Amino acid sequence: MSTHRSHRSGEAGSAYVLTLIVLLVLTLLGLVLALITQSEVEVGANERTINRAFYGAEAGITASVTSFLFNNSRAGNDLTFMDPGSTIFGTHVEVSPMVQLNVGPCNMCEVNQNTQYFNITHQIESEASRFGIDSDGNETILARKSLEMMVVIQPIQDTPDIENFDGEKP
User: Structural domain boundaries of the chain?
Assistant: 14-157
CA distances from 70 to 43, 73, 84 (A): 40, 8, 27
Could you give the 3-state DSSP secondary structure of residue 168? coil
Enclosing H/E stretch for 29: helix 14-71
What is the distance between the alpha carbons of residues 147 and 157, in angstroms, rounded to a whole number?
28
Instruction: Give phi and psi for 74, each to the nearest 5.
Output: -100, 10
pTM of the model: 0.70
What is the distance between the alpha carbons of residues 24 and 17, in angstroms, rounded to a whole number?
11
User: pLDDT of the chain along its 170 residues, tens only?
Assistant: 556 565 566 666 788 888 999 999 999 999 999 999 999 999 998 899 899 999 999 999 999 999 888 888 889 989 998 888 888 999 999 999 998 888 877 776 665 565 677 788 899 999 999 999 988 889 899 999 999 999 988 877 755 455 544 445 44
